[in-house]
Amino acid sequence: MLTETILAGIRTWVEIESPTDDLAAMTRMADRVQCDYEAIGVAVERIPGRNGFGDHILAVETRRCPEARADGPGILVLSHIDTVHPLGTLTSALPFKIEGDRAYGPGTEDMKGGAYLALAATRQLGAEGRQTRLPIRHLLVSDEEMGSGTSREHIEREARRARYVLVTEPARSGGKIVTARKGIANFKVTARGVPAHAGVEHHLGHNAIREIAYQIERLEEMTDYDRELTVNVGLVSGGTRVNVVPEYAQVEVDVRMPNPEIGEEIGQRIRGLTPRDPNVELVVEGGINRPGYEKSPEIAALFEHARTLAAEIGFDLVDLKTGGGSDGNFTASIAPTLDGLGVDGDGGHTLEERLYISSIEPRMRLLMRLMETLE
């Protein structure tokens, strides 16, 4: 019965589509989250969005922790309520449906399933009369899928007054949680050459595409698997017509790195690119979006505690390092962070996105026990 109740709540959230860049949709989603938390007696602070992004929600539960100050050190649960699928996905290519152990829908796995688990865990603490040793603060942000540009300051502020951070991103590879993540950097490299008629005055031109081709080789050579560093040229554009020496060309580059030190090093190397053709101007823009973090002794200890709790609940908990980024990248250097504590599932960001119903109650119980036992 508990699983069915939680799944019904997840469905309510999934059926409010909330692509990051649709302010009206994000407002509807924030309204629902606020309403659901207030319905169980939890205080909610609504943090106004900016730059066209939606509001963030901070739900604060201190009733289960009678001796705690509301503004004292606590547990930060970190989630996002935006999704990648455009409006209309729910009524066309990916309707909510249940097939066996799978519940399909936009955001079921990433990450309305996990975000709702945190609310369900908070509600269950009250239903079972359990107490916590620290106040619980659940921050649900509106722009994670587009880089957390407007929420980062709030994430880092809340992390600074947290003793632990629990991130409800989806589980990995069959239920694993995340204790380390690569950092992410994005760069644009633009070449501006000299245009010319390709047939009449080819010798007067300076080819921006040729310059960018040279820079692509230099960028790709920066990948170093032994250091867990990858540099990927993912988008290329340039030129106007086939009979014109191209004046303009650009590449967009994705960089993944294991820690801030390597991130700073690779950033300096990319920003230090120089043109081979002195008559072509080269401009490099961008930088680190999410710093990498590695499994510190404090994170390792937090994981061991979670693994013990999972064993008591009845499942094995395994951790891993992933190349994908999350808002946990911002908190791990501030407070011990466990990530991937949401539902188990597959197909995130695709039209096959689904959660595994059998993971709902065990994962909720793990969140609840972490809230109850961390001190």
**pLDDT tens profile 23-40:** 999 999 999 999 999 999
Residue 67, pLDDT > 80, answer: no
Residue 174, pLDDT > 90, answer: no
Of the pLDDT bands very low, low, confident and very high (cuts 50, 70, 90), residue 70 is low
Kindly state the DSSP code that residue 111 receives in the 8-state scheme.
I
pLDDT for the residue 256? 96
Give one DSSP letter per residue of 79-109, joined into a string: EE--BSSPTTSTTTTS--EEETTEEESTTII
Helices and strands per DSSP (H, E), number in the chain: 9, 18
pTM of the model: 0.92
Cα dist. 368→69, 74, 126, 172, 237 in Å? 20, 14, 10, 20, 49
How far apart CA 181 and CA 324 sit, in angstroms, is 7
The per-residue pLDDT for range 81-125, each reduced to its tens digit, is 999 999 999 999 999 999 999 999 999 999 999 999 999 999 999
Contacts of 214 (CB under 8 A, 6+ apart): 276
Average pLDDT, the chain: 96
pLDDT for the residue 65? 82
pLDDT for the residue 337? 98
pLDDT for the residue 296? 96
**Opening angle at CA 137, ends 124 and 328, nearest 5:** 110
Contacts of 192 (CB under 8 A, 6+ apart): 208, 247, 248, 280, 281, 283
Residue 168, pLDDT > 90, answer: yes
pLDDT for the residue 68? 65
Kindly state the DSSP code that residue 170 receives in the 8-state scheme.
P
What fold, for 2-181+293-373?
A: Aminopeptidase (3.40.630)
274 three-state secondary structure: coil
Q: Does domain 183-290 have CATH number 3.30.70.360?
A: yes
Structure tokens at 359: 């993971």
The per-residue pLDDT for range 285-316, each reduced to its tens digit, is 999 999 999 999 999 999 999 999 999 999 99
> Would you kindly state where each structural domain of the chain is located, as residue ranges?
2-181+293-373, 183-290
The secondary element (H helix, E strand) that includes residue 227 is none
